């Protein structure tokens, strides 16, 4: 299933923290940038506007671009006869949906309902066009002042010998002009310069803006001012002296200021904030500002277009005050705060404030794995290396460790049961600390399926559940033992990463999907890839409203509880049904789609309605109730083009039918939904009246083709919709007529039918005679084609897993080996070593001899490594570039290092004179094994660190990671 996302949260204005709704800080908006590499004709964005139909239009020095959310369509003077020039200065949308486009050479064009009409050229570059309430056109000209056009379209000057930049009309019909000489007020075509007596200092005025309250705002070389009671008052003293080029008021009544060289400022209830190139802007020179209908802020710079939006997910990171970005656990507290445990410390978030919680006795930062709250509101902490700890009066104090009762210092799960006994899940077993301080230990001898404890939870009946790396178990308080709840073999599940109790059900997030277990009946079922889940490995489940929220390494999944239960209750009836889901990732505001698991709680529901997720880059939070409102936003649909047999056909915007010639055999309709947040995830439906009167789901496809339509009249209709939302009344249609040849008329068809009846009888006799011969030929052809297809499939399969240059297995093959074998070696307590090898100073070979010589060197090294592989039963793969990886089953790192040392010497001593004179090659190895790590990603990281050490220590050596 294609990932879907309700991506219009930004229209629901404030973001929420743990306790209250606040504006998102300017630097924490989700940002995207487009430039010439994205399809724009030029990086200087002179003007950016949105027309009534929903399109975003961008004026540059190299043409006009229209953006539908997926791609830019470019318009230049050579293509559009009504376009004044390719160098465009300003765009001015009108209430009737039309658009005025003005050029650098004085040209003006009017685009209305798809038709371009050139206006009379002005005397100089047009910086701005204003159509006043009396339907007159006023022009702000570069070097030629201000002019208006009379009934004969003759330009009448009101101001001369200056540059005018911006015009605006107030509620009384007066026109205000920002110019190089300052601000002018024009009444009855008479201009008056505003002097410093009014509070406005001398100097150029670059932009004017009429606020939603009808208040004039002016900005220029020395700052920005409001017009209040016939005087100009500085908007903010911090802006005084800053050259401001553009002004915008957003739907929160915040003011945005684009500057000449200092980026963007926003003045809101959060105060005056700044966003510049150091915080992600493509450039500090701001040329234009826009808030679109979805409330995104578009910033036109001389380095491209930058867009800010409030995404469905917001993130708390080190940048916003967390101790570290690698977050493992989140705990919503009963006092409304949220506690965050990361690899480098503990934090408490309340409102928009972040507090760091440190050790009472100074020491190295703690690596936090788990959190829990007791009945008194105290927070307990499970750490990676320091055992169990507790927060008292804002400081962290040790409670228990391996030295005084715990089986391990690695505490991944904590739970207080109904008797207020504290269960402590560690890497080597489970401990229970009773209120009187008694500590009991539970291992496989007491019924646990495994001793690596990942998760703990209470079910609806008060039973304690433990999740391990080899299954789950429920504690029997009477017997004082655990009863293993084995996953059926067909589930192929092992890890129980997280639990969610719901009445008589216990839901388990596993490495093969979502497991549902009925505590009363013992019935068990799994929701996995077979039912439509896009990922196998799930870490945590949080229920909110009618949805389940599931964390994974590929993002956050939202599924409907009702559909999940229907699929699990009736697996046979639901065989042909697929799970409908939404997958949220980096495009929705998450800084990393990798949610973390193996610690608890890794995700949790907060009392304010938000859900918090631990990720590899901060903690991500979402407010689900706000997402439901997104589908109510109006979504325009447009038909952009029609191609007939590969040739573009003009669309009729006047309601008339499009007449197509006889023989039109292939019709292609291109359409779009004008949402700019994540338009690639919109859904579309089409129908063709005269051919098919029912809606056809096109999913995310934006093109529909029809072939071999009969002559006649048809109406093509398309509508766009948000994922999982109701279809809106936003359909667009065009009607066309395919004309017919004479032989397509009814009379000709009747005569042809009679002739065909006679011919058919003759052909019948002929075909009967030759049938056997044809059947034999076809059978032989099918056999040959089947053989050819099999050979081609085998070749493709080989190419997918082998490097083209060396014919060695590639990185994908190596990752598969490692992933498939790592768990087996760990479970059997067998060593497994890997090595990453890098050719030393390979760039010098490419630069000194050539890339061809470099490729030959790579092939020689690959051959030498392959010889070792045949002798030593190791696996070898080309990792990429000049890097190779070696896989040593049943070997420790030290044993593998001996093999690598032999290889290093063999390669260093190898005679390469037949490739190039004076050419020698050395290599460096980084070696690690599985004895000290619990996942293959960490094993790779340790080998990579060892390789880095080898390079730092002079190269041409073998380094073993001993951490």
* DSSP states along 710-749: PSEEEEEEEEEE-TTSPPPS--EEEEEEE---GGGSHHHH
Domain regions of the chain by residue span: 25-309, 316-625, 637-744, 811-960
Contacts of 133 (CB under 8 A, 6+ apart): 169, 173
- pLDDT surpassing 70 at residue 369: yes
Query: Are the CB atoms for 280 and 297 separated by under 8 Å?
Result: no
- pLDDT surpassing 60 at residue 22: no
H or E element at residue 884: strand 883-889
Query: Are the CB atoms for 121 and 143 separated by under 8 Å?
Result: no
- What radius of gyration, in Å, describes the C-alpha atoms of the chain? 35
pLDDT tens digits for range 671-684: 999 988 778 778 99
What is the CATH number that goes with domain 316-625? 2.130.10.10
637-744 topology per CATH = Immunoglobulin-like (2.60.40)
Query: Are the CB atoms for 730 and 719 separated by under 8 Å?
Result: yes
Of 859 and 30, more confident: 859
Active-site annotation holder among 882, 883, 902, 959: 882
Does the annotation count 882 as an active-site position? yes
Locate 875 and state its tokens. Answer: 């696996």
Query: Are the CB atoms for 39 and 617 separated by under 8 Å?
Result: no
Euclidean distance between the first and the last CA atom of the chain, given in angstroms as a whole number:
42
Q: Report pLDDT for 333.
A: 96
> b or e along 904-915 (b: 16 or more beta carbons within 10 Å of the residue's beta carbon)?
beebeeeebeeb
Closest CA to 884 of 864, 905, 862: 862
Query: Are the CB atoms for 627 and 6 separated by under 8 Å?
Result: yes
pLDDT tens digits for range 565-580: 999 998 877 677 888 8
- pLDDT surpassing 70 at residue 183: yes
DSSP β-ladder status, 958-960 and 923-929: parallel
Region 634-655: mean pLDDT is: 87
pTM over 0.75: no
Locate 140 and state its tokens. Answer: 């702000």
Choose the most confident range, by mean pLDDT, from 63-67, 477-481, 880-884: 63-67
H or E element at residue 625: helix 624-630
Beginning with the edge strand found earlier in the chain, give each strand of the sheet holding 63-67 in spatial order: 47-50, 56-60, 63-67, 72-75
Average model confidence (pLDDT) across the chain: 89
CATH classification of 811-960 is 3.40.50.2020, yes or no? no
- CB count, 10 Å around CB of 466? 29
Alpha-carbon span 307 to 300, nearest angstrom: 9
3-state secondary structure 150-178: CCCCCEEEEECCCCEEEEEECCCCCEEEE
pLDDT tens digits for range 100-123: 999 888 999 999 988 888 899 999
Contacts of 668 (CB under 8 A, 6+ apart): 642, 643, 644, 703, 704, 705
Alpha-carbon span 440 to 418, nearest angstrom: 17
Of 84 and 527, more confident: 527
Torsion sign (Cα): 564, 566, 571, 573: negative
Percent of residues, the chain, with pLDDT higher than 90: 61
294 alpha carbon, distance to own chain's centre: 18
Percent of residues, the chain, with pLDDT higher than 70: 95
Tell me the CB-side half-sphere exposure of residue 895, using CA atoms within 13 A.
14
> With bands split at pLDDT 50, 70 and 90, how would you rate the model's confidence at 587?
confident
Region 892-902: mean pLDDT is: 91
- pLDDT surpassing 70 at residue 524: yes
Largest CA distance in the chain: 107
- pLDDT surpassing 50 at residue 19: no
pLDDT tens digits for range 710-751: 999 999 999 998 876 778 899 999 999 999 887 777 777 788
Region 343-367: mean pLDDT is: 91
Burial of 37 (0-12, 13-18, 19+ CB in 10 A): exposed
Architecture of domain 25-309: 7 Propeller (2.130)
Query: Are the CB atoms for 452 and 428 separated by under 8 Å?
Result: yes
> With bands split at pLDDT 50, 70 and 90, how would you rate the model's confidence at 21?
very low
Alpha-carbon span 963 to 151, nearest angstrom: 84
Alpha-carbon span 604 to 612, nearest angstrom: 5
Check for a shared fold between 316-625 and 637-744.
no
Query: Are the CB atoms for 788 and 794 separated by under 8 Å?
Result: no
Query: Are the CB atoms for 311 and 30 separated by under 8 Å?
Result: yes
Locate 948 and state its tokens. Answer: 């880095």
- 885 forms beta bridges with 836, 877
pLDDT tens digits for range 774-789: 777 777 887 777 787 7
Q: Report pLDDT for 629.
A: 66
Query: Are the CB atoms for 304 and 35 separated by under 8 Å?
Result: yes
- pLDDT surpassing 70 at residue 201: yes
Query: Are the CB atoms for 720 and 734 separated by under 8 Å?
Result: no
């Amino acid at each position: 299933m294609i990932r879907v996302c309700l991506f219009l949260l930004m229209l629901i204005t404030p973001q929420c923290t743990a306790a209250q709704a606040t504006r998102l800080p300017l630097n924490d908006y989700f940002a995207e940038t487009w430039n010439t590499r994205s399809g724009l004709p030029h990086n200087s964005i002179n003007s950016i506007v949105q027309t009534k139909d929903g399109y975003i239009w961008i004026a540059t020095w190299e043409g006009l671009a229209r953006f539908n959310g997926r791609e830019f369509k470019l318009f230049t003077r050579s293509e559009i006869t009504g376009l004044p020039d390719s160098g465009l200065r300003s765009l001015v949308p009108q209430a009737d949906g039309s658009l005025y486009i003005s050029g650098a050479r004085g040209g003006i064009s009017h685009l209305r309902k798809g038709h371009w009409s050139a206006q009379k050229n002005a005397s100089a570059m047009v910086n701005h066009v204003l159509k006043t309430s009396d339907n007159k056109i006023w022009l702000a000209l570069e070097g030629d002042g201000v002019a208006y056009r009379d009934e004969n379209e003759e330009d009448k000057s009101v101001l001369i010998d200056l540059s005018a930049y911006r015009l605006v009309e107030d509620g009384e019909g007066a026109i205000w002009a920002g110019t190089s000489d300052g601000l002018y007020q024009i009444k009855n075509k008479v201009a008056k310069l505003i002097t410093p007596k009014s509070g406005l200092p001398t100097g150029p005025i670059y932009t004017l803006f009429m606020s939603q309250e009808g208040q004039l705002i002016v900005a220029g070389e020395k700052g920005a001012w409001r017009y209040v009671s016939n005087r100009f008052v500085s908007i903010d003293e911090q802006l005084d002296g800053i050259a401001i080029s553009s002004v915008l008021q957003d739907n929160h009544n915040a003011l945005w200021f684009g500057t000449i060289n200092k980026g963007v400022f926003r003045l809101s209830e959060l105060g005056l904030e700044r966003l510049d190139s150091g915080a992600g802007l493509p450039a500090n020179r701001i040329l234009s500002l826009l808030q679109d209908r979805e409330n995104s802020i578009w910033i036109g710079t001389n380095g491209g277009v930058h867009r800010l939006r409030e995404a469905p997910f917001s993130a708390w990171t080190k940048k916003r005050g967390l101790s570290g970005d690698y977050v493992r656990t989140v705990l919503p507290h009963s006092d409304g705060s949220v506690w965050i445990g990361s690899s480098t410390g503990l934090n408490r978030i309340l409102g928009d404030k972040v507090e760091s919680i440190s050790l009472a006795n100074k020491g190295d930062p703690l690596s936090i794995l788990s959190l829990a709250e007791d009945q008194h509101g105290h927070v307990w902490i499970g750490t990676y290396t320091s055992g169990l700890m507790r927060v008292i009066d804002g400081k962290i104090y040790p409670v228990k460790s391996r030295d005084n009762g715990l089986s391990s210092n690695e505490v991944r799960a904590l739970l207080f049961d109904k008797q207020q006994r504290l269960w402590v899940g560690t890497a080597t077993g489970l401990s229970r600390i009773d209120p009187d301080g008694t500590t009991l230990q539970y291992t496989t001898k007491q019924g646990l399926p495994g001793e690596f404890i990942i998760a703990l939870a209470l079910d609806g009946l008060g039973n304690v559940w433990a999740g391990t790396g080899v299954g789950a178990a429920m504690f029997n308080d009477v017997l004082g033992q655990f009863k293993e709840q084995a996953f059926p073999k067909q589930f192929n599940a092992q890890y129980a990463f997280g639990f969610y109790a719901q009445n008589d059900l216990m839901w388990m997030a596993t490495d093969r999907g979502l497991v549902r277990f009925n505590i009363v009946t013992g019935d068990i079922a799994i929701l996995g890839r077979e039912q439509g889940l896009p990922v196998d490995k799930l870490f945590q489940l949080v229920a909110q409203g009618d949805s389940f929220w599931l964390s994974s390494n590929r993002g956050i999944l939202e599924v409907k509880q009702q559909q999940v239960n229907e699929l699990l209750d009736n697996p046979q009836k639901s065989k042909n049904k697929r799970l409908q889901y939404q997958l949220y990732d980096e495009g929705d505001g998450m800084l990393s789609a990798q949610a973390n698991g193996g610690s608890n709680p890794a995700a949790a529901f907060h009392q304010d309605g938000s859900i918090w997720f631990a990720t590899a880059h901060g903690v991500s939070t979402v407010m689900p109730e706000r997402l439901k409102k997104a589908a109510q936003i109006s979504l325009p649909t447009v038909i952009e083009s029609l191609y007939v047999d590969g040739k573009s056909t003009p669309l009729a915007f006047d309601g008339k039918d499009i007449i197509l010639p006889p023989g039109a055999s292939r019709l292609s309709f291109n359409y779009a939904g004008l949402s700019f947040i994540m338009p690639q995830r919109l859904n579309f439906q089409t129908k063709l009246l005269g051919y098919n009167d029912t809606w056809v789901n096109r999913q995310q496809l934006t093109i529909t083709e029809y072939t071999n339509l009969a002559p006649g009249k048809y109406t093509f209709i398309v509508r766009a919709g948000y994922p999982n939302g109701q279809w809106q009344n936003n359909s667009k249609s065009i009607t066309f007529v395919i004309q017919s040849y004479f032989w397509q008329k009814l009379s000709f068809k009747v005569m042809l039918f009679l002739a065909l009846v006679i011919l058919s009888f003759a052909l019948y006799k002929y075909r009967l005679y030759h049938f056997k011969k044809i059947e034999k030929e076809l059978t032989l052809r099918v056999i040959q084609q089947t053989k050819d297809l099999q050979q081609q499939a085998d070749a493709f399969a080989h190419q997918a897993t082998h490097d083209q240059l060396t014919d060695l297995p590639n990185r994908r093959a190596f990752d598969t080996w490692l992933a498939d074998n790592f768990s087996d070696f760990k479970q059997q307590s067998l060593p497994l070593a890997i090595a990453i090898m890098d050719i030393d100073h390979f760039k010098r070979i490419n630069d000194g001899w050539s890339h061809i010589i470099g490729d030959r060197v790579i092939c020689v090294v690959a051959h030498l490594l392959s010889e070792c592989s045949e002798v030593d039963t190791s696996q070898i793969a080309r990792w990429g570039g000049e890097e190779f990886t070696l896989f040593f089953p049943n070997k420790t790192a030290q044993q593998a290092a001996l093999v690598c040392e032999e290889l290093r010497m063999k390669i260093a001593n190898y005679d390469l004179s037949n490739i190039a004179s004076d050419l020698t090659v050395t290599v460096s190895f980084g070696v690690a094994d599985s004895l000290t790590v619990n996942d293959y990603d960490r094993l790779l990281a340790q080998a990579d660190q060892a390789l880095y050490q080898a390079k730092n220590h002079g190269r041409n050596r073998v380094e073993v990671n001993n951490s």
